[in-house]
Structure 1
Amino acid sequence: MIGIWHALVDQPRMKLQFKIEKKGSYTLDAVMEPLPAPLTFTNVAVEGNHIRGTGQVFWNPGDELVAELDFQEDSFTGHVYIPSFGTIPLQGSRGRGPYMALSLINEVAPYRKGLVIERCDNEIQEAIDQLLAKMSLEEKVGQMCQCQASNFSFGSEIVSDPPEKLVAEGRAGSVLGAFDITRVFELQKIAVEQSPHGIPLLFNADVIHGSQTIFPIPLAWSCSWDMEAIKEACAIAAKEASASGTVYNHAPMIDVSRDARWGRVSEGAGEDPYLGSLIAKAQVEGYQGDSLFSEETLIACLKHFIAYGAAEAGRDYNSVDIAEPTLRNVYLPPFISALESGAASVMNAFNIYQGVPVAANKYLLKELLREQLGFEGVLISDYGSVDEIRIHGYAKDEKEAALKAVQATMDIEMVTRSYEALPELVREGKLSEQQIDDAVRRILYLKYKSGLMDDPFRYVRPEKEMEYHFSKEHLQASLELARKSIVLLKNDGVLPLVKDAGTIALIGPFADCKDLLGPWQFTRYGHETVSLYEGMTEKGFAEERLLVARGSGVNEPLEGGIEAAVAQARKADIVVLALGESSEMSGEAASRMDIVLPESQQRLAEAVAATGKPIVLVLTNGRPLVLDWFEQHVSAIVETWFLGSQAGHAIADVLMGDHNPSGKLTMSFPARIGQVPVYYNHFNTGRPLLEANKHQKYISKYLDGPNEPLYPFGFGLSYTSFAYSKVKLDRSRMRAGETILASVEVTNTGTAAGEEIVQLYIQDCCGSIVRPVKELKGFRKVSLAVGESLEVTFNITAEELTFWTPDIGYTAEPGQFKALIGASSRHLQEAAEFELLD
């Protein structure tokens, strides 16, 4: 019974795939198609050819899942009980089974227009003018409304007509969450054949870190500092998603994140606006490619504008209270970079700014985004955020919420139906029809630009789904980025593991687990995720040399689990302790008050550490964690985040030394929870903590712990070592338009070839407003053989010295600066000073 099995079901139409493995005990994983719904069976019992599994469904953890399967040589029978579906009888056979949308290939062919010529902007605007002239006010407003593809909800239940009715009546211009290509085809047919003007739909989805081939979560891939690899990941995601009919991506998330309690740090690039700006650019270029007209690209939507990452107490959807210089200098730069890269859409943040919800904030959306930054694209509300204007207390009812959102130039309302009041508001004279026309014009522009108006079915490509989804080439790209995303936080010499070093015990809830994909992914191949155990066995470890014990669940103890784990640890020469968070513990609506490993895992770690065996901690998680106990009690710490479809292979490659880790942190890891938010580019206080005054009382410090994080921004170890020379400047003064060259010599002083990310920081010593103690302003990735040296040079111009000040705006102020170069924000060579002259 070992292997992949499938069963086709008529009512409801679906395919179930099961993957059964045996590593000491049996495991059972499954997925449902067309829904990207993983089914995880945590308790599996086998008797002869009968397997019984129980677990919980991810969308409602309180509902029990049960499978009873009886196997013959190449077939099986049985049933599965899935809450909301009931008991489903099964009869299946080996393998993945037939491609579900195979029949759609012939069905969609007559609807395709064939060769479509890209229109220029003048042609598009002329066509839009002609179409607007034919549309009633209600039909125009319909383009500004978005509906869901099904009854599934990401929040409170939405009161709405069925999507078929909304689309047929022209009351929806876009659809969210049509995960099945057949569903895309069904709804697009209704739009084209039944809606008043046959205007095709935009199909929207959240493709955050992969479509079917899953890549590392964005916080992980940011640690690669590899813009080309990130760009490639986004391009592959676009290729896979667009083949299934998705046109409009609700990504990238480019919020700067300084508070690890906030679950959505997993979706972003960490705490630094400079690095975040480069990654934002790479993601937009990856998703949108060279032209939105290509059916293998996605419309990129920048989220969340703006300052969502500054939510108070790290609690999702909470208020934000920051000064405008912080808004401009910290949270805005990634958006500026992404807009300059041509991002076609922007999504509002859920928070308030200066007392006004962003969805209705004219200063942020109309004045800053559109007028000052020149954004001409589509502004879409986040899920339900138009209606939330009322809940915030900024509008008395849904009608007033709709009024204020349109006044702030919000083009599309996601899912809720407040915009249905817009025609009445126009007739009452509270809105002009021109305001409606402006919004609809922007929406229709994207439909023409993407080619949908000329060929509504050009993105429905089942034959390309078969070619692209989970392809060998895409899996290889995922593996390569996963390797680069791993950060080595500690190593006393136990790593890399020697292949003939003896017996290894894999212990922990992530030792043999497929929950390595992280939040915000909707793959139908989750059961084929490579586990750590599988990755290690691929390295040639025999079963008797690779001992496995869960020890505990992620959040709960297992009866006898610790005892079994300790027994395995005692038989081993080295313990690999695989701990972390489940996917549901990070991402949206997954804020945590105490960012430590759950108590059940901590107790397991303490019991295993008491055996005295060398321990390698392998972390699976979506945020920085407090690791002070582990820093003191284990031999090595490997931060792997959620690495995606090839996670187990990537981790094994690093553990065994087949890949030398080079990742560097993009978020600081606090030493204690009380430090949060903690970040490297903070301001000095009037009483800063220094080595000379650390014993004084009236200093900005804690009584019971350090000010500094345990692991700072930019930190990451290698299996080799690098030495830095002093920082050299080719000149000590410059004027605007001139350049200073800052350089160091970097030498590989270790015993292995390796890659180092050399980082440039600049301190503005005195400004018209207080400036950060240091800011990242450049980096270079260098590969060095053993004993090899290389001079690494950075250009410093006025651009690197520019910031926003309330009195002047963006400026580089004359004065003294310091250039610092090194291996992290903490490990820097002595600063070299220079001056910017008037």
Structure 2
Amino acid sequence: MKTVVEMFHGLIVTAQTAMHRRQKTCVTASVGIVVLVFLGAFQTLRQPARAKVEQPVLGSRSAKTLEVGGLKFKDLNKNGRLDLYEDWRLPAEARAQDLVAHMSIAEKVGFMLISSTRLQNDWAFEAPKNKEPITSQFNEEDLVTSTNMFTRKQLPVPIMTAAGTTKAVTQFHQRHFILRANVSARTTAEWANRLQALCESQPLGIPAIVASNPRNHITTAAAVGTSVGTTAFSKWPGELGLSAMRDLKLTREFADIARQEWAAVGLRKGYMYMADLSTEPRWQRVDGTFGENAEWVAQMITQVVLGFQGPTLSPTSVALTTKHFPGGGAGEGGQDPHFDWGKKEVFPGGQFQNNLIPFKAAIKAGTSAIMPYYSMPVGTKYEQIAYAYNKAVIKDLLRTELGFKGIINSDTGPIEMMPWGAEELTITQRYHRALQAGVNLFSGTADPAELLKTVEGNPDDVPLINDSVRRLLLEKFALGLFENPYVDEVAAETIVNNPKSAARAAVALRKSIVLLRNDVKALPLKAKTKVYFESYQKGGNAPATGAGEVYAAKGNSYPVEFVSTPEAADVVLLWLKPMSKSLFASDGSPLYLSLSKNAVEVPYIKALMAKKPTILAVNYSNPWVIDEVYNASTKSRCQGVLATFGTTPEALLDVVTGKFNPTGKMPFTTPVSEEVVQKQQEDVPGYKEAPGYALFKYDEGLSYPGNQ
């Protein structure tokens, strides 16, 4: 079977090339001819397959069912006969090649765009137009902007970042969408079914695939384009917290549970996870990484990919898009390449190859797609142009050297908004350059007009278009979307965040906590200790000064007593949650990690710690410098130090009271001072920095005495 499929594919490519040279408009016809020639061969393939395959469940809203040899198939193109792409018995490669032959250039180009889609009353990226709740109906309004959605700067040309749903499907031929809305499981499932029904009603009946950013993590830095934040899904530690667990089995279990939840509501593609390394501690996306050690991150990425996708893509999988190739954690000065001032990725320590280790693991595990970042490399052998345009990095390194065969999905907006190194090119020239580099799926705009213009003006791009569409179709066929893209709306509510999943997430939240200092053995807290527990986070609507939130136990099941003032306490439990400036509020000014530069009122904290012996917990979304409150003069008052990475008060209390023995390990090194932060090398992990750099070391973590 494999040999015939390979011959089939090879002859199609040959025929395309030959026909293209003779008559540029005949590419589709040439493919059709090859399909007819090999029809007999595939008919042979069908016969023995009948005894081995099971009839899949077919989900249909408008397509009629065909019965052939006692088996059922969906007549997606409504022509009354079974076409190759409709025949689920055939290899995905054969089905994809057949469908490519059926598609017009306009359909192919629309198929190569992925953009945001919105539910009714969902106003992502713009000011709300009403106060009505988000529903499962479509938002039919186009979102056209002349402003960069990330930098808020004027664009050279307006772009359509989202199209009205019906227009996107019926006129723009889009079948790839990014869902940003944070709604209930039922609402998401109902909307997803409506979207698939609309797609099924179209001439070729090609289903949609809906992607999302992470939805299963507790984070203080949720933002459109990075993380949806706390949702209806099960609530696990942040990515750094998953890494801190040092438990690959539970990591795999997390990914499998999340997979079931996503698939239940119709989300079949994840714009995640980050294989980037947190070698630059100031980077505002450190909290989305698995830390600074490339070998460990590679193991984490492996388990995450296998948990979401399985050994191979199947109808139960959620396909992952691993990002951001070839690693985006070494931005100059910690700045991010969403912005002009952060476009350079630098390698003063010569660690470019170190960045590739997690991506090699993701490829080996079978990740469905890989996303290049906006950065352009500086100080390497590669051209200084953004990775989406960088043929030597994408085609030569990723495709040829690393052997990646899946989808290359641009990040959002490298054509219109972040074209670093390609600023002088026109929009069509940028598309052409990115196609030649190897990009298969473009994120950022819903309107295919410029890409269509590019292909019409560059006929040599047609084979690249066909190859891209083929790769995108292979993913959909493997996921079983052509057979049944629909979900059980009622079941979705029982699958998402069910008690069993929540219980496993609760274990992870506790395992993610790291005990760093316990010199006087103050932890675990003794029974009947009077505890003042303050969670300090200044961001959003919180007052800039004064106390944080004081914890009041409900139905206290802890052996300690909670009090409402530090004066009444034996011990202060202080949970600091520093907050850097939002990524998308960056202005190019220098980045710092000191607490006073990251929404912590240091005089208040020092005064509070001076009142009573203190247990200090710090939520590390970056490797914060805490020397302003934890130094030679205050260490005697600080009886214990813990690190958290997105968890709950209850999980922290379980650790400090001894109900749960801490086992977590640091996923990165924390610097001893701001001075060493400013001198470190962007691409060098903290554990390889010069002696004297670290306060808390990578992989550091204690357990309670007797439980080492």
> TM-score surpassing 0.5?
yes
Aligned to 2:668: 667
- Report the structure, 1 or 2, having the larger helix content: 2
Aligned to 1:619: 618
Question: For 2:575, what is the secondary structure of its paired residue?
Answer: strand
Q: Does 1:144 align with 2:144?
A: no
- Contact kept? 1:239, 1:468, Cα under 8 Å: yes
Aligned to 1:239: 260
Query: CA offsets per residue over residues 501-522 of structure 1, 9 Å max, x none?
Result: 43111134369x999xxxxxxx
Task: Give the whole-Å Cα distance in 2 for the aligned partners of 1:303 and 1:393.
Answer: 21
User: What is the CA distance between 1:606 and its match in structure 2?
Assistant: 1.2
- The amino acid across from 1:714 in the alignment is D
Aligned to 2:659: 658
Query: CA offsets per residue over residues 271-307 of structure 1, 9 Å max, x none?
Result: 1111111111111111112442233x31011100023
User: What is the CA distance between 1:244 and its match in structure 2?
Assistant: 1.0
Q: Does 1:224 align with 2:245?
A: yes
The alpha-carbon distance between structure 1 residues 291 and 533, as it changes in their structure 2 partners (threshold 3 A), is: farther
Which of residues 517, 524, 530 is equivalent to 1:503?
A: 530
Aligned to 2:395: 366
Mean Cα displacement is larger for which, 119-128 or 166-175? 119-128
The alpha-carbon distance between structure 1 residues 594 and 681, as it changes in their structure 2 partners (threshold 3 A), is: closer
- Contact kept? 1:580, 1:619, Cα under 8 Å: yes
Aligned to 2:563: 547
Which blocks of at least 5 consecutive residues in structure 1 are unaligned? 1-107, 516-530, 549-567, 690-706, 721-751, 755-838
Q: Does 1:169 align with 2:176?
A: no
User: What is the CA distance between 1:451 and its match in structure 2?
Assistant: 0.5
- Contact kept? 2:577, 2:620, Cα under 8 Å: yes
- The amino acid across from 1:286 in the alignment is G
Task: Give the whole-Å Cα distance in 1 for the aligned partners of 2:348 and 2:470.
Answer: 32
Aligned to 2:327: 307
Query: CA offsets per residue over residues 483-529 of structure 1, 9 Å max, x none?
Result: 11111121233532444343111134369x999xxxxxxxxxxxxxx
1:427-576 paired onto structure 2 within 5 Å = 427-429=456-458, 431-457=460-486, 460-509=487-536, 533=551, 538-540=556-558, 545-548=561-564, 568-576=565-573
Mean Cα displacement is larger for which, 201-210 or 647-656? 201-210
The alpha-carbon distance between structure 1 residues 233 and 534, as it changes in their structure 2 partners (threshold 3 A), is: farther
User: What is the CA distance between 1:675 and its match in structure 2?
Assistant: 1.6
1:143-222 paired onto structure 2 within 5 Å = 143-150=111-118, 151-153=123-125, 155=150, 158-159=159-160, 161-177=163-179, 179=181, 180-194=188-202, 196-207=203-214, 209-210=216-217, 212-222=233-243
- Contact kept? 1:587, 1:622, Cα under 8 Å: no
Which blocks of at least 5 consecutive residues in structure 2 are unaligned? 1-58, 66-70, 75-85, 126-148, 153-157, 182-187, 218-230, 378-382, 543-548
- The amino acid across from 2:627 in the alignment is D
Query: CA offsets per residue over residues 55-92 of structure 1, 9 Å max, x none?
Result: xxxxxxxxxxxxxxxxxxxxxxxxxxxxxxxxxxxxxx
The alpha-carbon distance between structure 1 residues 253 and 220, as it changes in their structure 2 partners (threshold 3 A), is: same
- The amino acid across from 1:368 in the alignment is L
1:610-649 paired onto structure 2 within 5 Å = 610-611=610-611, 613-632=612-631, 633=634, 634-643=638-647, 647-649=648-650
- Contact kept? 1:308, 1:349, Cα under 8 Å: yes
The alpha-carbon distance between structure 1 residues 499 and 570, as it changes in their structure 2 partners (threshold 3 A), is: same
Task: Give the whole-Å Cα distance in 2 for the aligned partners of 1:655 and 1:182.
Answer: 43
The alpha-carbon distance between structure 1 residues 682 and 491, as it changes in their structure 2 partners (threshold 3 A), is: closer
Task: Give the whole-Å Cα distance in 2 for the aligned partners of 1:466 and 1:247.
Answer: 17
User: What is the CA distance between 1:428 and its match in structure 2?
Assistant: 2.6
Which of residues 408, 415, 436 is equivalent to 2:437?
A: 408
Query: CA offsets per residue over residues 354-381 of structure 1, 9 Å max, x none?
Result: 4111111111111111111111111111
Task: Give the whole-Å Cα distance in 2 for the aligned partners of 1:115 and 1:715.
Answer: 58
Q: Does 1:275 align with 2:296?
A: yes
1:732-747 paired onto structure 2 within 5 Å = none
User: What is the CA distance between 1:204 and its match in structure 2?
Assistant: 0.6
Task: Give the whole-Å Cα distance in 2 for the aligned partners of 1:589 and 1:346.
Answer: 27
Please report the TM-score for the alignment, with normalisation by the length of structure 2. Answer: 0.72
The alpha-carbon distance between structure 1 residues 116 and 178, as it changes in their structure 2 partners (threshold 3 A), is: farther
- Contact kept? 1:116, 1:451, Cα under 8 Å: no
Aligned to 1:753: 707
- Contact kept? 1:628, 1:672, Cα under 8 Å: yes
Equivalent pairs: percent with the same residue?
24
Mean Cα displacement is larger for which, 413-422 or 284-293? 413-422
Task: Give the whole-Å Cα distance in 2 for the aligned partners of 1:208 and 1:670.
Answer: 30
Task: Give the whole-Å Cα distance in 2 for the aligned partners of 1:713 and 1:597.
Answer: 20
Query: CA offsets per residue over residues 445-477 of structure 1, 9 Å max, x none?
Result: 1111100112232xx232332112221111111
Task: Give the whole-Å Cα distance in 1 for the aligned partners of 2:520 and 2:89.
Answer: 61
Q: Does 1:254 align with 2:270?
A: no
Aligned to 2:355: 331
Q: Does 1:294 align with 2:323?
A: no
Question: For 2:324, what is the secondary structure of its paired residue?
Answer: strand
Question: For 2:551, what is the secondary structure of its paired residue?
Answer: helix
Question: For 2:399, what is the secondary structure of its paired residue?
Answer: helix
Task: Give the whole-Å Cα distance in 2 for the aligned partners of 1:301 and 1:110.
Answer: 29
- Contact kept? 1:485, 1:663, Cα under 8 Å: yes
- The amino acid across from 2:241 in the alignment is A
Q: Does 1:714 align with 2:682?
A: no
- Contact kept? 2:578, 2:600, Cα under 8 Å: no
Question: For 1:488, what is the secondary structure of its paired residue?
Answer: strand
The alpha-carbon distance between structure 1 residues 431 and 421, as it changes in their structure 2 partners (threshold 3 A), is: farther
Aligned to 2:451: 422
Task: Give the whole-Å Cα distance in 1 for the aligned partners of 2:700 and 2:506.
Answer: 22
Task: Give the whole-Å Cα distance in 2 for the aligned partners of 1:541 and 1:111.
Answer: 61
Aligned to 2:595: 597
Task: Give the whole-Å Cα distance in 1 for the aligned partners of 2:477 and 2:111.
Answer: 14
Q: Does 1:577 align with 2:581?
A: no
The alpha-carbon distance between structure 1 residues 326 and 298, as it changes in their structure 2 partners (threshold 3 A), is: farther
- The amino acid across from 1:571 in the alignment is A
User: What is the CA distance between 1:629 and its match in structure 2?
Assistant: 3.5
Which of residues 369, 375, 381 is equivalent to 1:351?
A: 375
Please report the TM-score for the alignment, with normalisation by the length of structure 1. Answer: 0.61
Question: For 2:363, what is the secondary structure of its paired residue?
Answer: helix
The alpha-carbon distance between structure 1 residues 231 and 173, as it changes in their structure 2 partners (threshold 3 A), is: same
The CA RMSD over aligned residues, in Å, is 3.2
The alpha-carbon distance between structure 1 residues 680 and 321, as it changes in their structure 2 partners (threshold 3 A), is: closer
Task: Give the whole-Å Cα distance in 2 for the aligned partners of 1:291 and 1:434.
Answer: 27
The alpha-carbon distance between structure 1 residues 415 and 713, as it changes in their structure 2 partners (threshold 3 A), is: same
- Contact kept? 1:505, 1:574, Cα under 8 Å: yes
Question: For 1:263, what is the secondary structure of its paired residue?
Answer: coil
Question: For 1:474, what is the secondary structure of its paired residue?
Answer: helix
Question: For 1:432, what is the secondary structure of its paired residue?
Answer: helix
The alpha-carbon distance between structure 1 residues 428 and 477, as it changes in their structure 2 partners (threshold 3 A), is: same
User: What is the CA distance between 1:228 and its match in structure 2?
Assistant: 1.0
Mean Cα displacement is larger for which, 484-493 or 116-125? 116-125
Aligned to 1:131: 99
Q: How many residues align?
A: 550
- Report the structure, 1 or 2, having the larger strand content: 1
Question: For 1:379, what is the secondary structure of its paired residue?
Answer: strand
* Higher RCO, 1 vs 2 (CA within 8 Å, ≥6 residues apart): 2
Task: Give the whole-Å Cα distance in 2 for the aligned partners of 1:254 and 1:581.
Answer: 24
Task: Give the whole-Å Cα distance in 2 for the aligned partners of 1:393 and 1:290.
Answer: 38
The alpha-carbon distance between structure 1 residues 320 and 536, as it changes in their structure 2 partners (threshold 3 A), is: farther
Query: CA offsets per residue over residues 135-172 of structure 1, 9 Å max, x none?
Result: 11111111101232125236359525423201112431
- The amino acid across from 2:490 in the alignment is E
The alpha-carbon distance between structure 1 residues 206 and 535, as it changes in their structure 2 partners (threshold 3 A), is: farther
- The amino acid across from 1:640 in the alignment is T
Task: Give the whole-Å Cα distance in 2 for the aligned partners of 1:298 and 1:673.
Answer: 41
